[in-house]
Structure 1
């Protein structure tokens, strides 16, 4: 079915007792495709969920076919994060489990999940069996080699590609994508844009939440949300960038951390390190030395092994004990506990956000960084409480301290986890795609914060990003992973960063 129009009329959404969106109205005609944009927390995802029929709202959302009759199109919304269940149909996975090969046996493989999807699609007759060739989609997105990989072992970028492949098999009439380019390397972003343009030309209606820089050429209109209202609805050709917003005050504040005095000289040293899961070689003979105070970019395409490499450092991967790895001048396996390692590390990643305890509030999430736990299980003293409150204030999260972390917007959750990474003033910061979910102003402020923290020449930084403009100025070294092998080099000019 091809819909003629999507009519959104006077939509109002209340979330946790607060009116988040009010009086949202627009019409998207046949052949038109929409980008929803705005600053973080402006209600973009809630509006998308309302159109998808996933949340309650006041007002009406109607679809009409080519004859002007009411229609019920097949609508699919792809969320920012993919949540899957184990073979017992229970969501019981935890963060470190990805790196435990035995535990991964409880997760379905890519092949199994896609074949189950095809069976379900055929049952409801949304698609014809002969056209459901998921192998070609896996090839298109460079995922064919991962066909028998457990879902648990996919990288964040691979999960995003898997989400899109699974959705395309269901052949939606209206496809709503929430930040589809987040976590994808440059080549995959190009392929996804090309595919969106192709499907749009063939009749699929797209509604996409994304940054203006990533907008596919098929997008015809832009809806800009601000302060709960539709500030602007305009043709994409006349919408060059976000309207000017007031400058944030975050980076104008004093950073609540003190100068470091670490008692080690070498932060990380790996000698001939290799990691394999089953028959797949993830890392192969890695030699890497990071001296105290160095600032590194860890670069590589989706699935190159970046998260696996980091897990060897953070103490989350048991294969660290089978390799020669030194952290903070001590060899792994020489008697130190995982807590001895983690106390020196501030860490944030997309996966950490996915698996974080959703029963804790914002204050507890930040405070858990003092103990390196995913959730707060200890009492904190007055001094620690003051430090947590300083970081909440710094990131302008004080008003959300008592709210559940899961009830905050994606950007507020990310800021809370960034505060968690920094609350103990660690000598090693590992920031894996830290700007995911932040709007442009928040990204700029955060990058300035990282550069300010790195003015301390005793602080070591490992930074991961697929976007050159998100890399702090402090970075001057790079480790590039390709097919499990590492190349060490000076960090190039930002306009040369291509992955």
Structure 2
């Protein structure tokens, strides 16, 4: 099919359960143009993407036309997350399976999964472009979050789409991988594929020609990208509610000690001779490329990896495997990760999800007492989610779901926070507020923090130590440069244009 059609939206409206989700959206994206969708978390970007794909019932029309004649292009939509199934495609994996060697036998490898969509030659080409050739025969559940994002994109590219809609496609990718993706997207645009990206303005491929800013389900700005303005002085909105009361986080002696820790799956070494100590009150950034072993390292700390029992790992003064349960460990750690969010029970209400943090379960399976209920309400109010308390977690945007999990991690006053890309999925303002919140918590409680992020400007200023992994090999050092000023990612207003 010749790729020179227009995409015409006319009064596209979506209502569900009496709520207006998309509000009379109208614009035309002409042939050769490529669109970026900006807006706060929950503004309707993903809903619009699903409507364009045809996955969402809507009023109004979405038409694809060439020379005023209707056409039927192939539309690929790459969602922000990708649920994994076992080989029989009938059951979801559970969270800890990622770290269980034996369970990997029921997971397709990267190549096996991609062969469902394309030829071996095409797969080999894309794996090389995305620097995944060395992972070709790795079970999917052992891929990192960033590697899964690449797999997800490749599987859609193998279908040769005419329109490629990408929802937060840069999320979870390391610096080098993001550069590669920019190059790939620009080449796809040059080849005639129409790109529609839900992204931030700091990850804007050169091929993007137009942008739409969304708020409350409506498009409030639509213009050529040349008119995109950045307000460097934009003020960061503070959380208006008072911070819920939190205990001082104090422990005598190191919280974490690792001695000669090596983790392997089959012949593949994931972590290679880790010697590391985290003392009370210290804040660490854990850095490394996609697949370097960052999440595996946190899994040893958070009680999710069975290989911890065979290693010299001491948590809160006790060696793993000397009698403590994983629940003893988890009770002292507030944990957030993309995988935890992906595997969380979607039918759980928002209040239940926060309350489950008292028991470290993925869902709430017991009744909260009066004091616990009051604390749940305090954290919901702090994050301005109190009016949504009884909605299903799945009804929230990805960014709002992440705020719920951050509240879940904090509700039990942990000694330590283990945060695997906590700002992933948040809009620019939410990211800044979470960074400020973590700085404030450390200042007021002394809480130890372990922080994974591929963006240095998402790392709190209280982080002074770095553990950097390169193919599982560690380097430990202190930060020596001033904390960078966080710049606006999506500061789009009428004044900016």
Structure 1 SS opposite 2:117: helix
Distance 1:350 1:261, change over 3 A: closer
Distance in 1 separating the partners of 2:53 and 2:249: 53
Deviation of 1:214 after TM superposition, in Å, equals: 0.4
Whether the aligned pair in 2 keeps the contact of 1:297 and 1:491 (CA below 8 Å) is: no
1:173 maps to which residue?
162
Whether 1:42 aligns to 2:31 is: no
2:306 maps to which residue?
318
Distance in 2 separating the partners of 1:98 and 1:140: 25
Structure 1 SS opposite 2:334: strand
Deviation of 1:279 after TM superposition, in Å, equals: 1.3
1:135 maps to which residue?
124
Distance 1:496 1:397, change over 3 A: closer
1:15 maps to which residue?
16
Whether 1:112 aligns to 2:112 is: yes
Show the 5 A alignment for 1:72-471: 72-118=72-118, 132-241=121-230, 248-250=237-239, 252-260=240-248, 262-456=250-444, 458-471=446-459
After TM superposition, the structure 1 stretch with the greater mean CA deviation from structure 2, 8-17 or 338-347, is: 8-17
Structure 2 SS opposite 1:117: coil
Deviation of 1:246 after TM superposition, in Å, equals: 8.6
* Unmatched 5+ stretches in structure 2: 487-497
Question: Which residue of the other structure, out of 466, 471, 484, is the alignment partner of 1:483?
Answer: 471
Distance in 1 separating the partners of 2:253 and 2:153: 45
Distance in 2 separating the partners of 1:261 and 1:467: 27
Whether the aligned pair in 2 keeps the contact of 1:304 and 1:482 (CA below 8 Å) is: yes
Distance in 2 separating the partners of 1:3 and 1:382: 62
Distance in 2 separating the partners of 1:477 and 1:47: 41
What is the TM-score when the length of structure 1 is the normalising length? 0.94
Deviation of 1:260 after TM superposition, in Å, equals: 1.5
1:121 maps to which residue?
none
**Superposition CA RMSD, Å:** 1.8
Residues matched between the structures, number = 484
Whether the aligned pair in 1 keeps the contact of 2:236 and 2:432 (CA below 8 Å) is: no
Deviation of 1:243 after TM superposition, in Å, equals: 11
Whether the aligned pair in 1 keeps the contact of 2:333 and 2:417 (CA below 8 Å) is: yes
Distance in 2 separating the partners of 1:259 and 1:354: 30
What is the TM-score when the length of structure 2 is the normalising length? 0.94
* Unmatched 5+ stretches in structure 1: 119-128
Whether the aligned pair in 2 keeps the contact of 1:3 and 1:71 (CA below 8 Å) is: no
Deviation of 1:172 after TM superposition, in Å, equals: 0.4
Distance in 2 separating the partners of 1:492 and 1:482: 20
1:54 maps to which residue?
55
Whether the aligned pair in 2 keeps the contact of 1:3 and 1:30 (CA below 8 Å) is: yes
Distance in 1 separating the partners of 2:485 and 2:355: 39
Q: Deviations over 1:298-327 (max 9, x none)?
A: 000110000000000000000000100000
Distance in 1 separating the partners of 2:249 and 2:432: 28
After TM superposition, the structure 1 stretch with the greater mean CA deviation from structure 2, 184-193 or 486-495, is: 486-495
Whether the aligned pair in 2 keeps the contact of 1:274 and 1:285 (CA below 8 Å) is: yes
Whether the aligned pair in 2 keeps the contact of 1:365 and 1:376 (CA below 8 Å) is: yes
Distance in 2 separating the partners of 1:164 and 1:311: 26
Structure 2 SS opposite 1:212: coil
Deviation of 1:253 after TM superposition, in Å, equals: 3.1
Deviation of 1:207 after TM superposition, in Å, equals: 0.4
Deviation of 1:13 after TM superposition, in Å, equals: 1.0
Whether 1:69 aligns to 2:69 is: yes
Structure 1 SS opposite 2:353: helix
